[in-house]
């Protein structure tokens, strides 16, 4: 009896590791759009693409951690102390939370929002998850 309870629990425990291949192109597109906007000085648009990449990748440790790294670099480049300080714990713990499936779905990842608060996901991003066959619930 104890053994079957353990087996049941194991089946429901889901560890997330890397981005599914159907989601990867969307994540990469957001990062590329970030680079383009940043290089041309469109910082608001650049940041928006980082937030979108965060939402797309936050379920997966490597992608999640990478976006927080890019957000930290962005904070340093624009000399925003709040963003720099806010990204450090996110960088350290974000990937761990992803790995065990405990993320605030839709959170854009910046230091201007509470790190554990879920947010509604805009329709365009919802459509990306749907096209990629990813369930967010």
Tell me if 12 is assigned to some domain.
Answer: no
Mean pLDDT (whole number) for 111-134:
95
Provide the percentage of residues in the chain whose pLDDT is more than 70: 88
Q: How many domains does the chain have?
A: 1
Closest Cα partner for 125 from 39, 63, 54, 68? 54
Tell me if 89 is assigned to some domain.
Answer: yes
Q: How confident is the model at residue 16 (pLDDT cuts 50, 70, 90)?
A: low
Question: What pTM value is reported for the model?
Answer: 0.87
Tell me if 53 is assigned to some domain.
Answer: yes
Domain holding 47, by residue range, is 19-131
| Residue 11, CA atoms < 13 Å, CB-side half-sphere | 6
Tell me if 91 is assigned to some domain.
Answer: yes
Has residue 6 got a pLDDT over 50?
Answer: no
Q: What are phi and psi of 17, to 5 degrees?
A: -125, -75
Summarised one tens digit per residue, pLDDT across range 86-106 is 999 999 999 889 988 889 999
Tell me if 102 is assigned to some domain.
Answer: yes
Tell me if 2 is assigned to some domain.
Answer: no
Has residue 11 got a pLDDT over 60?
Answer: no
Tell me if 104 is assigned to some domain.
Answer: yes
Tell me if 4 is assigned to some domain.
Answer: no
Has residue 3 got a pLDDT over 60?
Answer: no
| Residue 61 pLDDT | 94
Looking at per-residue confidence, does 10 or 135 come out higher? 135
- What CA–CA distance (Å, rounded) separates 99 from 61? 6
Mean pLDDT (whole number) for 69-83:
97
| Residue 27 pLDDT | 98
Taking a C-beta distance cutoff of 8 angstroms, is the pair 17, 104 a contact?
no
Helix (H), strand (E), coil (C) string for the chain: CHHHHHHHHHHHCCCCCCCCCCCHHHHHHHHHHHHHHHHCCCHHHHHHHHHHHHHHHCCCHHHHHHHHHHHHHHHHHCCCHHHHHHHHHHHHHHHHHHHCCCCCCCCCCCCCCCCCCCCCCCHHHHHHHHHCCCCCC
91: Cα separation from own chain's centroid = 11
């Amino acid at each position: 009896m104890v053994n079957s309870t353990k087996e049941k629990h194991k089946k429901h425990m889901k560890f997330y590791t890397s981005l599914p291949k159907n989601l990867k192109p969307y994540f990469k597109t957001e990062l590329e759009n970030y680079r383009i906007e940043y290089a041309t000085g469109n910082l608001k648009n650049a940041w928006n693409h980082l937030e979108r990449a965060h939402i797309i990748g936050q379920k997966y440790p490597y992608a999640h951690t990478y976006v927080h790294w890019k957000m930290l670099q962005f904070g340093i480049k624009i000399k925003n102390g709040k963003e720099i300080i806010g990204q450090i714990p996110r960088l350290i713990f974000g990937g761990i939370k992803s790995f065990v499936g405990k993320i605030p779905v839709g959170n854009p990842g910046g230091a201007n929002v509470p790190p554990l608060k879920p947010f509604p996901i805009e329709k365009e991003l919802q459509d990306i998850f749907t096209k990629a066959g990813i369930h967010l619930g």
